[in-house]
């Protein structure tokens, strides 16, 4: 179908939640390159928004999925399935968590974590209602997670929202101390605010958040939906900080494109009991096979080190652009999660359009931040190739 017919049918039949989509239809991917219907190639610095960690067409990944496709795609959670149990075990063995629950998305993982936090206090006989989250955060689109998302623009049509959520400015210890009390069930934070503009938490902020949760008995919930699964050079971003959450959530890269997320919990607060929570699709054999393969690859010796190494060279090269491009005012992030902040008056949409013309797909965040989330397997020369392209794109708009 040609792009114009596709756009017309999309306009007629698909709910317009994505606004004016970019007029490109991708047909296939190979390694870290996407191909549109006309065969034009784009090096992918978005990876389906931090999802396609292993790029496209990874032979081992496809082989693992093919094997499972032939055996069993789905079965009810009334029964056991081996990939589910194996993935739960491997996630616990590689993290501070003791127990796992699988979901189909990041929002569902966060929703599950919020339910788990309330269930924990309810079962202790000391119910707590409140959640504290940060302004500019993003936690998902269900009613509970949109309530936890500290951005009014996502919340407006859905009032009344979940009762009891308080928002605090990110990286502000005083505001946190005033908001987290003995009535707070969960403090929910991203280690790096992704959608909010690629803002890392400071070391002292996350340490303080942990202390405050310990003092008030609040559960620390870290949303690692975007930062998890190696994106920042550690399997989970909280490892950089040496701060252990009570609960944390992952999704996106866990399935390398198959829909799977997870709530990971310490034993003491893993208080769901039979009937409290559930899912039809979550934890099915196919998606868990994807997760097992991805986790296996990311934990191979040297993989995360290479993400750190490539990320630091990439960030240094992007930072060096600042001396030639006054429009670049900051470069921040960790590993291969990098934000290039452009000056407020930069026409960012034109910069990204120019980059597409030059054969590069990038994301944006918070208006004028270029959000770079390439597949973790992207080669260093490919990563560095976008640096002059960004310079050109900025100088031509
Ligand atoms: C930090 C964070 N949490 C939650 C979500 C929601 O995930 P999903 O779109 O899979 O529901 C996202 C998605 O961008 C995210 O970045």
State the helix-helix crossing angle for 59-71 and 285-298, rounded to 10 degrees: 150
| Helices assigned H by DSSP within 14-137 | 47-50, 59-71, 82-93, 106-123
SS3 call for 344? coil
- How do residues 247-284 score in pLDDT, each as one tens digit? 999 999 999 999 999 999 999 999 999 999 999 999 99
Q: How far is the CA of 303 from the centre of ligand 1 (A)?
A: 24
Whether the ω angle into residue 20 lies within 30 degrees of 0, i.e. cis, is no
- How do residues 40-86 score in pLDDT, each as one tens digit? 999 999 999 999 999 999 999 999 999 999 999 999 999 999 999 99
- Ligand 1 atom nearest the C-alpha of 145 is 4
Q: How far is the CA of 260 from the centre of ligand 1 (A)?
A: 12
Q: Whose CA is nearest to atom 8 of ligand 1?
A: 106
Token digits of residue 217: 């008995």
Give residue 116's pLDDT. 98
Q: Is the CB of 106 under 6 A from ligand 1?
A: yes
Q: Evaluate if pTM is beyond 0.75.
A: yes
Q: Is the CB of 103 under 6 A from ligand 1?
A: no
Secondary structure E strands in the chain? 26-30, 33-36, 41-44, 99-103, 130-134, 165-168, 184-190, 192-193, 199-200, 219-223, 247-250, 261-265, 328-334, 337-342, 360-361, 363-365, 369-372
Using the structure block, give the residue that is written with the tokens 């002292």: 204
SS3 call for 163? coil
- Ligand 1 atom nearest the C-alpha of 252 is 10
Q: Is the CB of 282 under 6 A from ligand 1?
A: no
Q: How far is the CA of 277 from the centre of ligand 1 (A)?
A: 20
Q: Whose CA is nearest to atom 3 of ligand 1?
A: 139
Residue of 55, 36, 31, 2 whose CA lies nearest to 359: 36
Q: Is the CB of 251 under 6 A from ligand 1?
A: yes
Q: What are phi and psi of 320, to 5 degrees?
A: -65, -20
Give residue 392's pLDDT. 97
Go through the domains of the chain in sequence order and give each one's CATH number: 3-58+302-396 (3.90.1150.10), 72-298 (3.40.640.10)
| Helices assigned H by DSSP within 279-324 | 285-298, 303-320
Q: Is the CB of 315 under 6 A from ligand 1?
A: no
Mutate to test the pocket of ligand 1, among 134, 194, 252 (most ligand atoms within 8 A of CB): 252
- Ligand 1 atom nearest the C-alpha of 224 is 1
Give residue 295's pLDDT. 98
Q: Return per-residue pLDDT of the chain as tens, 397 residues.
A: 899 999 999 999 999 999 999 999 999 999 999 999 999 999 999 999 999 999 999 999 999 999 999 999 999 999 999 999 999 999 999 999 999 999 999 999 999 999 999 999 999 999 999 999 999 999 999 999 999 999 999 999 999 999 999 999 999 999 999 999 999 999 999 999 999 999 999 999 999 999 999 999 999 999 999 999 999 999 999 999 999 999 999 999 999 999 999 999 999 999 999 999 999 999 999 999 999 999 999 999 999 999 999 999 999 999 999 999 999 999 999 999 999 999 999 999 999 999 999 999 999 999 999 999 999 999 999 999 999 999 999 999 9
| CA dist., res. 53 & res. 370, Å (int) | 19
């Amino acid at each position: 179908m040609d792009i114009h017919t596709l756009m017309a049918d999309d306009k007629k039949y698909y709910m317009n939640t994505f606004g004016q989509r970019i007029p490109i239809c991708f047909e296939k991917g190979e390694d870290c390159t996407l191909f549109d219907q006309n065969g034009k190639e784009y090096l992918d610095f978005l990876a389906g928004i931090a999802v396609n960690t292993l790029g496209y067409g990874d032979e081992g990944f496809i082989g693992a999925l093919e094997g499972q496709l032939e055996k069993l795609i789905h079965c009810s959670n009334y029964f056991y399935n081996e990939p589910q149990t194996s993935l739960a075990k491997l996630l616990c063995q590689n993290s501070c968590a003791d127990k796992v629950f699988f979901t189909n998305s990041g929002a569902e993982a966060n929703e599950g974590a919020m339910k788990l936090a309330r269930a924990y206090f309810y079962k202790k006989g000391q119910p707590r209602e409140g959640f504290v989250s940060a302004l500019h955060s993003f936690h998902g689109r269900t009613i509970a997670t949109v309530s936890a998302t500290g951005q009014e623009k996502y919340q407006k049509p859905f009032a009344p929202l979940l009762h009891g959520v308080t928002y605090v400015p990110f990286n502000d210890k005083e505001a946190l101390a005033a908001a987290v009390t003995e009535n707070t069930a969960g403090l929910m934070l991203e280690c790096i605010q992704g959608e909010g503009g690629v803002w890392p938490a400071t070391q002292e902020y996350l340490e303080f958040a942990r202390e405050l949760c310990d003092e008030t008995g609040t559960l620390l919930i870290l949303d690692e939906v975007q930062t998890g699964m190696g994106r920042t050079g550690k399997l989970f971003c909280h490892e950089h900080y040496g701060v252990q959450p009570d609960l944390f959530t992952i999704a996106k890269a866990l399935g390398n494109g198959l829909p799977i997320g997870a709530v990971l919990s310490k034993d003491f607060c893993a208080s769901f009991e039979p009937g409290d929570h559930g899912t039809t699709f979550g934890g099915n054999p196919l998606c868990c096979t994807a997760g097992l393969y991805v986790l296996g690859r990311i934990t191979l010796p040297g993989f995360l080190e290479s993400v750190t190494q490539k990320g630091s060279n990439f960030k240094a090269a992007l930072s060096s652009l600042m001396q030639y491009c006054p429009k670049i005012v900051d470069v921040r992030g960790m590993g291969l999660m990098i934000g290039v902040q452009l000056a407020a008056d930069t026409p960012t949409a034109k910069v990204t359009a120019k980059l597409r013309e030059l054969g590069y797909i990038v994301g944006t965040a918070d208006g004028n931040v270029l959000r770079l989330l390439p597949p973790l397997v992207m080669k260093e020369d490919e990563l560095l190739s976008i640096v002059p392209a960004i310079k050109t794109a900025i100088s031509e708009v």
